Structure 1
């Protein structure tokens, strides 16, 4: 028997080398494959065609579940506003003006939903889960939102930026469209997919540096573009809704010019934001004006936009 001069025993050299396991012998890869399989099943199993855009969409909740979550969040917002004495009474003049705009927009939702769905060869969306409500909150914040299920809130800080009912209708139509497009349920599906990817990376034993790089790639390559696409979709549907409710769609251009100046016009570059760059947004809205004017002509008797 050969004697190892370094005192490592008389075993053949090859026998002292650790055995290398193949790809499918590594438990880390099995974990990743299992997570990937489940993620693909979950993602593609939730796939449907968005009737408003004709694009593929993935939903992480039913319309009823989404509406319940929206109603719960809305109650919390109103309770907080009441505790701060910031919730305007329904008979307040400002509240009545905002409610009047909301009523006109909501009244046109069934027609606009049917028109857009027909354009994409889709059935008319089911609107039975929407229970519309609107409240105005005293705040310097220039903002508004519409939660899943049709719960709308407008902050008074938006009024001086909007300046007129046409621009306010454009903003509110945009927010209502987030609810109609079920962007909340779509974000839930995306978040579930991202979380599964993070879990898979953690269980697989991936080092922290690689996980950080992966997280940044997901954030900038998936999450933020997903948000920007939702904003663009809401701009498209919202402008048609405002025009069908007989508000001037051209008000969208100066509105977003004013919005772009908020905060001194300082904002992150588009790739690092959930919202499109204001210049790109305005350019896209300008391209939508001919279609919006067709909606105006159809539902407003062809009168000049007021």
Structure 2
């Protein structure tokens, strides 16, 4: 504990090196937060969150990871003219154009790029800055364009919501608080204890919330792009069967909610009605352009 009263021959509490180090860490983090941080509203979900990392820095991180991924996966990346690459690029652009129509100015910082990787992995990802990786295993399991669009809408939702930047902001404060906390305890297992507390109390709940938020944004983008949003719940049910991720234990320990829960949430009337309204508008606009 901090010695707030001076011991015989000992320093005052404000001269304690641990207090000085803790104060320096907190002060430095506070300065960075005041200079760089700001509150933002996540599109569609309207959740307010605090972000320290600037958009340019977030985009730079995404470009770095994407460049490294392209080097590591070089032998498996399909050429741009491959039918799978053409298909994924078209679906992605439909979603991106829908996002740009509804979020004017919000996506100016994103530089979209898509690669398709020949691999059995049933997955896709969207790095900060709009860098997208899709694996052919996903295309083999999702034969309909609307199914692929559901997954891509979810991944683009992460980029739009700036979930990476939000996690970095939380992690920055966690590291600072951990340094401060460790100045005043003496436990052999302190690192494992604190990291375990962080994961159970903060990391998992926040990650599950972000996944559900990306689901919500994704179904809105899916609908605004002209794909029937009613397919989204069935896609997550299908993913649950493919990955076997629907047990209650898996739901608790995973950063992702169970696919069954995700399907149920997207099927709720308030969510589906909002999505269907966007879908009907998108179809009406498309019919108007065709007639014109």
What is the TM-score of this pair, normalised by structure 1?
0.80
**Partner residue of 1:298?**
281
**Partner residue of 2:98?**
108
**Partner residue of 2:4?**
none
**Partner residue of 1:74?**
66
Instruction: Pick the aligned partner of 1:92 from 70, 82, 100.
Output: 82
Quote the Cα distance in structure 1 between the aligned partners of 2:11 and 2:227: 68
Deviations 1:66-97 (A, max 9, x none): 11211121111112222xx2111111111111
* Deviation larger for 176-185 or 136-145: 176-185
Deviations 1:127-162 (A, max 9, x none): 221111111100011110111111111000111332
Q: Alignment partner of 1:260: what SS?
A: helix
Deviations 1:197-250 (A, max 9, x none): 222233334313454333222111111111111111111111101111111111
Quote the Cα distance in structure 2 between the aligned partners of 1:265 and 1:149: 29
Instruction: Pick the aligned partner of 1:237 from 200, 217, 220.
Output: 217
**Partner residue of 1:228?**
208
The structural deviation recorded for 1:274 is: 1.0
- 1:277 partnered with 2:258: yes
What is the TM-score of this pair, normalised by structure 2?
0.83
Quote the Cα distance in structure 2 between the aligned partners of 1:197 and 1:273: 25
Deviations 1:27-46 (A, max 9, x none): 64665565455556655762
TM alignment of 1:146-295, pairs within 5 A: 146-265=126-245, 268-287=249-268, 288-295=271-278
Checking the alignment, whether the CA contact within 8 Å between 2:61 and 2:128 is kept in structure 1 is yes
Shift in CA distance, 233/265, structure 1 to aligned 2, threshold 3 Å: closer
TM alignment of 1:53-64, pairs within 5 A: 53-64=45-56
Quote the Cα distance in structure 2 between the aligned partners of 1:144 and 1:259: 12
Checking the alignment, whether the CA contact within 8 Å between 1:88 and 1:135 is kept in structure 2 is yes
Across the two proteins, how many residue pairs are aligned to each other? 276
Q: Where do 5+ consecutive residues of structure 2 fail to align?
A: 1-6, 288-292
* Deviation larger for 31-40 or 219-228: 31-40
Which of the pair has more CA radius of gyration?
A: 1
